[in-house]
Each structure stands twice: as structure tokens, then as C-alpha cells.
A and B are shown apart, each in its own frame.
Chain A
Amino acid sequence: DQQVKQNSPSLSVQEGRISILNCDYTNSMFDYFLWYKKYPAEGPTFLISISSIKDKNEDGRFTVFLNKSAKHLSLHIVPSQPGDSAVYFCAASANTDKLIFGTGTRLQVFP
């Protein structure tokens, strides 16, 4: 039972454009959502998070949007840079610090 789903395994975006990564979840008890970035041979690195009491959180080039009624969140990266090329994981938790991860989306930013 996959409670957190990332339905796009890969995404290719031109440098300077917007990257939009999507994530859907099924558990209405989730109240905290996070995005992690992972390079090969490294552990996941925290990127940005959002609490269920908000619908938007912004940090520099990264913005996360949460639509609770649709059980959907998205990560926007503007402008995209080649160094953003990595695998992005969406994760969620329900009032604990046990994280449930999606399967990841591989982002490729090309010049």
C-alpha cells in the first residue's frame, strides 16, 4: 500500500525554466510533508517542508504547494539550474517523526 506516490519517475527541464514535481498521498492523517533531494552515493538532503496548516511555503528558488482537499503537493523550482539535477523524494509524516517516502522523481536540467 503506497501511501505516498510520485507518479512521474523522471522529468527533463531546460535550464532557467520552471521544474514542477508532483506528489500525491492517501493518508488524511499526514500533517507534515517534506521534500528531499538525493545525489548518487549520498544520503537524502532536506530541501523544504510544509505543515498541513499551510498551503504554501517558499525558500529561495523552491516553493512547495499543498492542496489538502486533493491530497496533493507539488515542488516548484524556479529558475531550474543544472545543479538541481538529482532524484527528488516526497515524504510525509503523521504527528511522529517516522517518514513515509514516495518512489522519487529523477530531475534532469539541461543547458
Chain B
Amino acid sequence: DAGVTQSPTHLIKTRGQQVTLRCSPKSGHDTVSWYQQALGQGPQFIFQYYEEEERQRGNFPDRFSGHQFPNYSSELNVNALLLGDSALYLCASSFVIQGVGYGYTFGSGTRLTVV
């Protein structure tokens, strides 16, 4: 049973460009959350998708957007990349029962470097 799958594993982009990161959730999970982990920091919540809609959002600018597809997979898009966007981007999937999440499982992440 595959866990959470993220692609690509590594990415180098130039400042000002746009990037799309992808995530396939664990089987049976319907909720996808995205986190940014900068060097030496803990993961920071970006947003969460459930039933193809953004359910919660952290303190990130509108340059960060996302999408969830009918098969529960998700994309994270970042526009107008800044050097400070360089980080490990983690996807986590879970399933929700009565508003509470369970089975929170992380992928291995996408390492984004902006030059």
C-alpha cells in the first residue's frame, strides 16, 4: 500500500518563475495538507484541501495556491518565486471524521531551490 507520493523530489527554479508541485495521498485518505519547511525550522502549514476545496489556510501570500482533483490528489502552485521560497515542501494526507483529522501521513517532500 503506497503512502503519500510527492513529485518531483528536487527542483531548481529561477526567481520570478512559477512552480507546480504534486501530491498523491495515501489510499483511503481524502484530505491533503501542504507544509513548507525552511532550513532549521519546523513545517509551517500552508493550506488544506478537502472535497476539492480549500478548507483551511495558513499565513502565506496569495502567490501560493492549490488544487485538489476528484481522485484526491493535489497540486501546490507558487507564482513569482522569491529566494525565500526555497524550502522543503511537504504534503500530508489524512481522513476526516466529523471535522477531526486522522491518520496524518507525510510524504518525503519536494526540495525547491530558487536561484
Contact = CB atoms under 8 A, between A and B. Distances in A.
B96 A89 contact: no
Nearest to B90: A43
B44 A101 contact: yes
Nearest to A89: B42
A96 B44 CA distance: 15
A44 B42 CA distance: 10
Interface residues of B, number: 28
Which bracket fits the contact residues of A? 20 to 34
B66 interface: no
B68 to A, nearest CB: 15
A103 B107 contact: no
Given A42-B108, A45-B106, A99-B104, A89 B43 contact: yes
Query: Most chain-B Cβ atoms within 10 A of its Cβ — which of A89, A97, A102?
Result: A97
A105 B56 CA distance: 27
Interface of B: 4, 6, 31, 33, 35, 40-45, 48, 56, 58, 90, 92, 94, 96, 99-102, 104-109
